Structure 1
């Protein structure tokens, strides 16, 4: 899994996690936008469309459906739809919550309790692109729910490795909710600026994406392990492999 790499000319290379006629699952590199933004930097949709066009010698425009997003500084598992039918069915899976997403995060400090559920109401300021926790019923706000489980701690570095399962997919959700409980993500310049140094890469990784295949209905499991570099390497590779196994066997 992830042994084949895309190497489209002029774009960052990335591992293929899954591919068939309907889907393309890849490992998103950090600091690549999911879709075109004001920066004008190469984005996932453009990179992957170019790759499909090149690898399969496709004429004209290439269809590629965006099913879910990852913030620009976040890397890891991501799925795209290669047909409109697959895109529609995966979007429905997201709405019906049969589309599972699990992350690993490195946070400052140690969360209260070994595990827990965070339920908040979030409001995004489109002008500043900042999300805040607000009172329930605030116009434009949306509920946000996640479960977390502390996997390990590094007392010396005052960091914890946390597994997070999203029940809702709100912008900046993990970053905002973890910061709100006093455990901002490592390197988060937006929601943990008091603790982060310029240049630190955010400690958030898309470890797992799972869903029923939109055509065959067979389970599809995408797994991406964080890079072996600080602060991820404070924990052994076997820890991440075990997490992936636990998710596939039904961690809730």
Structure 2
């Protein structure tokens, strides 16, 4: 189940898209990012979302030449859910400014092992990324290269040794949710990098971009993209109604 508030505007092209479109007009394209696709081209050489979206728009609108598609925010390769892209450089610039000025809202749903110590709380840590290993660790405040990471969490429910959490991401650090929750001994279901001791190889990480909210770069209207995870394990431990109520 996915949705968009307010209603989508503009032409969505003459053909059908290979992606689930949450919002589209002349300035923006909001989609449900499929899991296990890199957002940008990486060392694997696998097809990346940005290139696929350009080709998709080119085909649907019969556009000659190159298609512009601006990347405003990122999701880790194994993570799925709502993403917004800019179809013009002006829209990209204005959305990027919304990100910098903290007018860009990001809400995630995740399933973790165990249960956090409180029903809701704020996690504040300093994170340091090792680019060589593509891993992030929690370090002491003031550590050279360390960046402050802040998130708010709310426990939506617990079942079968797992908890469903709503995450309001207040800073956008690499692997932030995964590292910070592992830091309170609640690693994400399926996360091999930060929860290898409790997860099995091949499990899909249970982290989903549920809400992306921002002022429209042209109309200034507050816009929200909403996406609910697929009803596969462990998401299916909670109904889609409960998940949707949690983020609205």
Q: Shorter-chain-normalised TM-score: which range?
A: over 0.9
Q: Distance in 2 between matches of 1:14 and 1:61?
A: 20
SS in structure 1 of the partner of residue 193 of structure 2: coil
Q: Is the 8 A contact 2:166 2:247 kept in 1?
A: no
Residue in structure 2 matched with residue 76 of structure 1 by the alignment: 81
SS in structure 1 of the partner of residue 208 of structure 2: strand
Residue in structure 2 matched with residue 243 of structure 1 by the alignment: 246
Gaps of 5+ in 2: none
Q: Distance in 2 between matches of 1:137 and 1:229?
A: 41
SS in structure 2 of the partner of residue 87 of structure 1: helix
Q: Distance in 1 between matches of 2:108 and 2:240?
A: 15
Q: Distance in 2 between matches of 1:67 and 1:108?
A: 31
1:204 and 2:199 correspond = no
1:226 and 2:202 correspond = no
Q: Which has the higher contact order (CA 8 A, sep 6+)?
A: 2
Q: Distance in 1 between matches of 2:211 and 2:153?
A: 14
TM-score when normalising by structure 2: 0.93
Q: CA RMSD in A?
A: 1.6
Report the alpha carbon displacement of residue 50 of structure 1 after superposing the two structures with TM: 0.3
1:171 and 2:174 correspond = yes
Residue in structure 1 matched with residue 21 of structure 2 by the alignment: 16
- Over residues 167-188 of structure 1, what are the superposed CA-to-partner deviations in whole Å (9 max), with x where a residue is unaligned? 0000000000000000000000
Equivalenced residues, count: 239
1:49 and 2:86 correspond = no
Q: Is the 8 A contact 2:116 2:184 kept in 1?
A: yes
- Over residues 92-137 of structure 1, what are the superposed CA-to-partner deviations in whole Å (9 max), with x where a residue is unaligned? 0000000000000000000011000000000100000000111111
Q: Is the 8 A contact 2:107 2:247 kept in 1?
A: no
Gaps of 5+ in 1: 246-252
TM-score when normalising by structure 1: 0.92
SS in structure 2 of the partner of residue 151 of structure 1: strand
Report the alpha carbon displacement of residue 7 of structure 1 after superposing the two structures with TM: 6.1
- Within-5 A mapping of 1:23-172: 23-154=28-159, 157-172=160-175
Q: Distance in 1 between matches of 2:185 and 2:140?
A: 19
Q: Distance in 1 between matches of 2:70 and 2:149?
A: 25
